[in-house]
Structure 1
Amino acid sequence: MRSTFCLKALSVAIATFSVASAASAAGLDRSGQDITAFLQDGTYAETVYTYIDADVTGRDNAYIGTDDKAYNKGNKIGDIAEDYDFFRYGVKTDINDTFSVGILYDEPFGAAADYVGDNNFVAQGDLDNAINIISNGNATGLVDASNKIDRLSAGAQLQAEAAAKFAQQAQNATTPQQAAQLAAQAKAAQDQALELKGQAESLGAAVASAQVEKSTTGEGTNVEVRTENVTAILGAKLGTNKEFQIYGGPVAQQVQADVALRGVAYGLANGYTAHISSDQDFGWLAGVSYSKPEIALKAALTYRSEIEHNTNIGEQYPIVAALDGNPNQAGTIEITTPKSVNFDFQTGINPTTLATAKVRWVPWGDFAIVPPLYNEVSKRATGDDKGLALVSYDDDQWQVELGLAKRLTPALAVSGNIGWDSGAGNPVTSLGPIEGYYSAGLGAKYNVTDNWAISAGGKYLWFGDAEGQIPTKKVVSNFEDNDGYIVGVKLSYQAAQ
């Protein structure tokens, strides 16, 4: 029965799927953390190259006002998604009929976005327009802002003097009722003084941020995040027919990132720049699989732990200079890459056809990047003791992919798949404004020899529409009708033992 289902041919055919199927649009997910190389029979090795070209265009927000959810169609935003590629490697062998070992390399998480052109994510250098936008329309330009700041400051001073006068009179009051009335007047005047002072400081901060807009003319928002994983796996087969396998091992992960926020879309954070130094830390992987060779069935459930990084960060935040602070600071940051669960399944339908399913879950709702200086300034700006994260997501990611593989000749197999990715919420960060996708892909594999094979595949993606928001939850852009494609090629070696 085993030979009837041509398990080896079908299993290698299914490997075609992983050439171009593992590229997600939720959070920072990229590779899908595929481990199917370890689940192959005998000795197996693969080298996979994947290239991704996404077209992500939209419009900025032309609305000026205090309603953070309001949106008016603004200027066109050209393609912000930089093309990127990555490699994946895997090697696995059986020590004996019970134990197997393997090593996998991939680049699981990342981002690459770059804004250019005439929109709110690129510094245009128009000081008056920047003041108008950043102040939410409370000042039309530099002269107007300066006049209002002077009036507000003068009003705050007068109210502060009145508060002091009422407080003094309250101390000299002849009756408790008179003292209480004067104390209430003193408090009201003091509150008014603080409110006027806050309005003056807010306008002053808007002017300072607008001046950054002028000094950085032509610079655009961009972000790049890179991670690398090396996973060592030891598996042990159990059961009467060795149909069960438990496996696990350590994971070494390296992460680094660069972020530059430019343009009036980011308000007071205009001009912010951060460099997160490369850091390596460790996590772990564990899983269980089941196989039934008679029908070419394999199923595997894999858990990867979160990995906590503590690394150095350099931040430049121009607005801090206007707040009498140091705008260039070095510190440390904690970034915890998320845990994940993958389910891989395949079964033979007939002697030449294999059905497959993949399900992946990543809790992006628990993920955040919180640079210390950025967070400290946000506490002052929002009045919230927790402050804001630079990057965070509202929802967890679910990804589902279904496919078929068909052996046409002893040397040639083809495959096809359809997929769905839930995304990580909408609105979502302006540094990656996509809400999941639908996909369809095709692939082919050719056995060059009994052991060596080459595979190629491609996938087309229809991205979900999304509104981009900044950490304050203000909507700053809208992205619709976007798509992308993925192509990949794999060289693989397999030898039965």
Structure 2
Amino acid sequence: MTPRQRLTVQPHDDYALIGTQACGPLREEDKMKVYVLGASVAALCATGAVAGGIERNSNNYGLLYEDGNQIELTFAHISPTVKGKYVGGGSTGDMAGDYTSTGVAYKTDITDQLSFGLYFNDGYGADSTYSEGFYTGLNAEWDSTQTAVILKYQATDRISVYGGVRYVESSADITIPDQMIRKPYEDGAAQATAGAAAAEAAYGPADPRTIGAQQLAAQLNAVATSTDSLEFTAQAEKDGRFGYVLGAAYEIPDIALRVGLTWQSAITHEFDTTENSFGFGVIGVESTTEIEMPQSVALDFQTGVAKDTLVFGQVKWVEWSKWEVRTQEYETVTGDAITGIDDDVITWQLGVGRRFSDEFSGFARVTYEKSNGGIASRLAPTDGRISLGVGGTYTDGAMKLRGGIEFAKLGDAEDGSGTKFESNTLMGIGAAMTFAF
């Protein structure tokens, strides 16, 4: 009976690596450097558009195409502003918290054809807190760490395959305040009371239909007028699971052309969950909650188009419609899931990189996700987005330092109670440092 909430509180987490996709030099007069550029840009841009949902970071599998031993450190700080206006007036306050995302990756060559990659980052995350008006006290958190071990085999100078395993460890907490659970019962009690009165007038006080309507009204009124708190909390303890990665790429090094396709399997957590709601008699109830972290498919491309100029892009699909948090006691009480995502997400990205000198290069890119319409979740009150990012790379011998900034316009949305979330934005800054040795 309570409105369905969605935990997708950071709908634009693909900014976790912004600024790290600086596209390196393209030199027509030096084919080896052209090839190195192609590998470098693939490494930096292949994971530049982490798709929707609660994804904050992704594994830079393109690092496997860099020469020799490599260590890459990444950092980003994301600052969304998401506010809504209630139907009766007043603001929800900014419900989307700032966050910082970090990552470490290592790559080495085992043989001339076989390479090894190791990745650590905070793959998924969410942080939502309402501080003003009727939604005050509604909050949700999701924390994850991601580790991956990947091997790449260079079958020919143009064809390569890669794959391995990744391990995701997550935990989650959510609180739904008393007033948000109580209000549907109050509305239901009022409707049931009116229905009972109408049934009595139509059928008489002894009619089974009248008695049934009166019993329903009494049950709903008992909850609506309870002096006990109806606040609901659920805590999912840390759980780790394995998934798989498979990919392949085709390259033409002379023109820095590379097209790659990467699949990541779904990962299903089995959380030990503790639920509490004193008003419903749910006190420290333990159960197991299965939550699927969705599979994804990413198509990356890049090509040189002129001297020192490269065009790159990505289309990434993530099956977020499979992601749902449905705990045992909450479903028993309300008949619904705590949170879920209704639609899969397709993220489009297109950019251009330009080399200005042996030390400096820059890039610009546009990222787009369409709006799906419908009723928005209070924990994900945006619908689609478009963003622009710019950045650059400084190269000094074996070190590359990359940085950038990205600005996004988040799509307007309206939740089930008519609260409108409009003119919201997101700003992110990012940096990465790569050492060859």
TM-score by length of 2: 0.78
The residue aligned with 1:428 is 376
Is the aligned partner of 1:258 residue 2:273? no
Matches within 5 A, 1:373-384: 373-379=329-335
Is the aligned partner of 1:120 residue 2:120? no
Shift of 1:366: 1.7
* SS class of match (1:77): coil
Matches within 5 A, 1:70-469: 74-117=89-132, 119-122=133-136, 220-239=137-156, 242-262=157-177, 264-266=179-181, 267=183, 271-321=231-281, 326-379=282-335, 388-422=336-370, 426-449=374-397, 451-468=398-415
Matching residue's letter, 1:329:
V
How far apart are the structure 1 equivalents of 2:405 and 2:50? 11
For the structure 1 residues 476 and 370, does the alpha-carbon distance in structure 2 shift closer, same or farther, using more than 3 Å as the test? Answer: farther
Q: Is the 8 A contact 2:40 2:65 kept in 1?
A: no
For the structure 1 residues 486 and 441, does the alpha-carbon distance in structure 2 shift closer, same or farther, using more than 3 Å as the test? Answer: same
Spell out, residue by residue over 1:163-185, the C-alpha distance to the aligned partner (whole angstroms, 9 max, x if none): xxxxxxxxxxxxxxxxxxxxxxx
For the structure 1 residues 304 and 297, does the alpha-carbon distance in structure 2 shift closer, same or farther, using more than 3 Å as the test? Answer: same
The residue aligned with 1:208 is none
How far apart are the structure 2 equivalents of 1:33 and 1:120? 39
* SS class of match (2:165): strand
How far apart are the structure 1 equivalents of 2:372 and 2:169? 23
For the structure 1 residues 2 and 263, does the alpha-carbon distance in structure 2 shift closer, same or farther, using more than 3 Å as the test? Answer: farther
For the structure 1 residues 249 and 425, does the alpha-carbon distance in structure 2 shift closer, same or farther, using more than 3 Å as the test? Answer: farther
Matching residue's letter, 1:278:
K
TM-align CA RMSD: 2.2
For the structure 1 residues 22 and 87, does the alpha-carbon distance in structure 2 shift closer, same or farther, using more than 3 Å as the test? Answer: farther
Spell out, residue by residue over 1:139-172, the C-alpha distance to the aligned partner (whole angstroms, 9 max, x if none): xxxxxxxxxxxxxxxxxxxxxxxxxxxxxxxxxx
Spell out, residue by residue over 1:408-427, the C-alpha distance to the aligned partner (whole angstroms, 9 max, x if none): 00010111101102367642
Matching residue's letter, 1:304:
Q
Spell out, residue by residue over 1:423-466, the C-alpha distance to the aligned partner (whole angstroms, 9 max, x if none): 676423211212121000001110122x1111111100000111
* SS class of match (1:429): coil
Q: Is the 8 A contact 1:9 1:407 kept in 2?
A: no
Matching residue's letter, 2:390:
L
Unaligned runs of 5+ in 2: 1-27, 186-229
The residue aligned with 1:133 is none
Is the aligned partner of 1:56 residue 2:71? no
For the structure 1 residues 39 and 389, does the alpha-carbon distance in structure 2 shift closer, same or farther, using more than 3 Å as the test? Answer: farther
Identity %: 26
Matching residue's letter, 2:266:
E
Shift of 1:478: 1.9
How far apart are the structure 1 equivalents of 2:170 and 2:418? 28
Matching residue's letter, 1:465:
D
Q: Is the 8 A contact 2:387 2:409 kept in 1?
A: yes
* SS class of match (1:332): strand
Spell out, residue by residue over 1:85-129, the C-alpha distance to the aligned partner (whole angstroms, 9 max, x if none): 111221112222211111122222221111102x1112xxxxxxx
For the structure 1 residues 34 and 95, does the alpha-carbon distance in structure 2 shift closer, same or farther, using more than 3 Å as the test? Answer: closer
How far apart are the structure 2 equivalents of 1:2 and 1:232? 36
Q: Is the 8 A contact 1:13 1:414 kept in 2?
A: no
Q: Is the 8 A contact 2:318 2:345 kept in 1?
A: yes
Shift of 1:316: 1.0
Shift of 1:29: 2.4
* SS class of match (2:119): strand
How far apart are the structure 2 equivalents of 1:439 and 1:282? 32
For the structure 1 residues 10 and 415, does the alpha-carbon distance in structure 2 shift closer, same or farther, using more than 3 Å as the test? Answer: farther
Shift of 1:263: 5.4
How far apart are the structure 1 equivalents of 2:170 and 2:424? 28
Shift of 1:8: 2.5
Shift of 1:481: 0.6
The residue aligned with 2:24 is none
How far apart are the structure 1 equivalents of 2:45 and 2:103? 14
Matches within 5 A, 1:465-476: 465-468=412-415, 474-475=416-417
Spell out, residue by residue over 1:357-392, the C-alpha distance to the aligned partner (whole angstroms, 9 max, x if none): 01110111121111111011123xxxxxxxx11111
How far apart are the structure 1 equivalents of 2:434 and 2:108? 13
Alignment partner of 2:70 out of 34, 44, 48: 44
How far apart are the structure 2 equivalents of 1:2 and 1:287? 31
* SS class of match (1:58): coil
TM-score by length of 1: 0.69
Matching residue's letter, 1:375:
E
Matching residue's letter, 2:286:
A
Q: Is the 8 A contact 1:233 1:249 kept in 2?
A: yes
Shift of 1:399: 0.2
Shift of 1:467: 2.0
For the structure 1 residues 304 and 18, does the alpha-carbon distance in structure 2 shift closer, same or farther, using more than 3 Å as the test? Answer: closer
* SS class of match (2:247): strand
Q: Is the 8 A contact 2:58 2:121 kept in 1?
A: no
The residue aligned with 1:8 is 36
Q: Is the 8 A contact 2:77 2:98 kept in 1?
A: yes
